[in-house]
Amino acid sequence: MAHPRSARERARAELTREIKERALTQLAERGADLSLRAIARDLGLVSSALYRYFRSRDELLTALIVDAYDDLADALLAADAAVAEERYAERWQAVCAELRSWALEQPHRFALVYGSPVPGYRAPATTVAPAERVMTALSGIAEAAAAAGALDAAAVPLDPALEAQLSAVAGLLGPRVPPSVTARLVAAFAQVIGMVNLELAGHFVGGFEPADLLFAHSVRELADLLGLR
Amino acid sequence: MAHPRSARERARAELTREIKERALTQLAERGADLSLRAIARDLGLVSSALYRYFRSRDELLTALIVDAYDDLADALLAADAAVAEERYAERWQAVCAELRSWALEQPHRFALVYGSPVPGYRAPATTVAPAERVMTALSGIAEAAAAAGALDAAAVPLDPALEAQLSAVAGLLGPRVPPSVTARLVAAFAQVIGMVNLELAGHFVGGFEPADLLFAHSVRELADLLGLR
DNA sequence: TGTACATCAGTGAACGCGCGTTCACTGATGTAC
DNA sequence: TGTACATCAGTGAACGCGCGTTCACTGATGTAC
């Protein structure tokens, strides 16, 4: 698996990659509708040939989604690693900034995972783990701060039922983070994704363009709110 | 215009309404792809007949989008009006709750305006004013509080360039609200839309279901953050 | 090292669909005198 | 009130496209002896 052996295997791996690459280019050019025939045309193949590589259009879509989550998570972790470990607020800002950059550079991939679901497509369970990698790239900072005793956690009283829900996701988002901070993490995540989506959809046109300053400012306020320093 | 006169005009108004209604049903059933032929079929018409009512598919889409913004704004204003005028925090919570209810009841309409743009469709300027009605339904509460001297505005120092951008939208969002609160209003809006979008897209599945409590809690925290009381 | 057989990538035709938009037309509704 | 003409809703055929998926096939690559 590390290095494909035969020429056949090498060719297969490369074509699989090329198919996904063309699919992404097409998403970028034509919007959300993915056409297997158009991909095959671009690659100089007959449309049925694609079925040697992906069992169906949905399977190709799933592969693209998994790749997108993974790439995004990698980019976020890299941005995080570039900041000194104990500067939690700066790490948060760097990761959020990277998320936005990644989205602006590849809006179609961002839309694929955080935009409206593609009509007729239902994401399989395979996509859950990669999606969680993205969330934990953000929440991991709060968890690290909490572990280091550097999280200024405001103790907010919560509805017991909500607290139970929050504890249930604590395994994923970070067990040392108090429930009220977990709630804020989810809200903060929604805000970041929401701002990027609004920007990409052109809802800020006329008001905030570029939205760099607004985004950076909001992200800084979120870091405060989360108790990161 | 108040009451269509002739039978012809009455029939035209009614069919226009029916076309939009069928279009919405179809969006709900088939996802984001809107088919004029399918709408015509549903109405027992020949597809070309629709061109007497809408010049193109895009024009129909635009009409649906404008209607969605308008309906949503109306619903928000109604929810706002149901709360005592000077209870600003409660008004905010009521309006946000109504926004979520509306979205959960009509996810396709919400996706139409706050989801990823429909491929190949570019929203015309006609949609800007209705979109702003929705935003001001939320920001109007902060503006009212500010006008009544009841806004606990935290004075946060801002980058001058950002402050300029914020002042530019102040005419729309409320001139008496200080810039730092305007920034928070936009961020809060993004958070609310973002949470609803994540919920609709199934990103909360397994963690927060139903998301009622999390949403209500986050919205309450936003009210605090905005200085509403 | 060479041959026999198995694997599998890619072909090309076909099935059975779908779509938006244009156009000349019929026939009903509305208007002016 | 009745007739002549104009307006306009809806028809049906056509244009020129698109799509995902299946299937029997050829011929090249890989494997076992």
Q: Which nucleotides of C are covered by protein (CB under 7 A)?
A: 8-14, 18-24, 29-31
Residue whose token pair is 């970028």: A28
Cα–Cα distance, A155 to A136 (Å, whole number):
22
B47 touches strand D (CB under 7 A): yes
Residue–nucleotide distance: B211 CA to C31 C1' (Å)? 60
User: Does B161 have pLDDT greater than 60?
Assistant: yes
User: Does A212 have pLDDT greater than 80?
Assistant: yes
CB contact under 8 A, A186 and B214: yes
Which segment of A146-160, B10-24, B58-72, B135-149 scores lowest on mean pLDDT? Answer: A146-160
CB contact under 8 A, B117 and A184: no
Q: Scanning every residue of chain A, which has its alpha carbon at the shortest distance from the alpha carbon of B160?
A: A213
Q: Scanning every residue of chain A, which has its alpha carbon at the shortest distance from the alpha carbon of B194?
A: A194
User: Does A1 have pLDDT greater than 60?
Assistant: no
- C-beta neighbour count of A116 within 10 angstroms: 23
List of residues 6+ apart from A119 with CB closer than 8 A: B30, B31, B32, B33
CB contact under 8 A, B201 and A114: yes
The percentage of chain B sitting over the pLDDT mark of 90, rounded to a whole number, equals 83
CB contact under 8 A, B208 and A165: yes
What pLDDT sits at residue B19? 98
- Nucleotide with minimal C1' distance from the CA of A8 is D29
More confident residue, A191 or A173: A191
Which segment of A151-165, A179-193, B98-112 scores lowest on mean pLDDT? Answer: A151-165
Residues on chain B touching A31 (C-beta within 8 angstroms): 117-120
> Which one of B116, B187, B189 has the shortest CB-CB distance to A115?
B116
Mean of all residue pLDDT scores within chain A:
93
What pLDDT sits at residue A2? 43
Cα–Cα distance, A142 to A153 (Å, whole number):
10
- Could you give the angle at the alpha carbon of B208 between the alpha carbons of A218 and A135, nearest 5°? 45
Length of chain A: 229
User: Does B2 have pLDDT greater than 50?
Assistant: no
How large is the average pLDDT for residues B127-149?
A: 96
Chains A–B, number of C-beta pairs less than 8 Å apart? 149
The percentage of chain B sitting over the pLDDT mark of 70, rounded to a whole number, equals 98
CB contact under 8 A, B217 and A162: yes
How large is the average pLDDT for residues B94-108?
A: 97
Res. B101 pLDDT band, cuts 50 70 90 = very high
Q: Scanning every residue of chain B, which has its alpha carbon at the shortest distance from the alpha carbon of A183?
A: B214
Residue whose token pair is 């280091």: A148
User: Does A67 have pLDDT greater than 80?
Assistant: yes
What pLDDT sits at residue A3? 55
Cα–Cα distance, B73 to B130 (Å, whole number):
8
What pLDDT sits at residue B1? 41
CB contact under 8 A, B159 and A217: yes
What pLDDT sits at residue A205? 74
- C-beta neighbour count of A55 within 10 angstroms: 10
- C-beta neighbour count of A32 within 10 angstroms: 21
B14 touches strand C (CB under 7 A): no
How large is the average pLDDT for residues A119-125?
A: 85
Tokens for A183, please give them: 């709630």
Q: Is B138 exposed, middle or buried (0-12, 13-18, 19+ CB in 10 A)?
A: buried
How large is the average pLDDT for residues B52-66?
A: 96
More confident residue, A3 or A159: A159
Cα–Cα distance, B177 to B156 (Å, whole number):
13
Of B117, B162, B222, the C-alpha closest to A207 is: B162
Residue–nucleotide distance: B27 CA to C29 C1' (Å)? 34
pTM: 0.95
User: Looking at CA atoms only, how far is residue A45 from chain B in angstroms?
Assistant: 25
Residues on chain B touching A186 (C-beta within 8 angstroms): 208, 214, 218
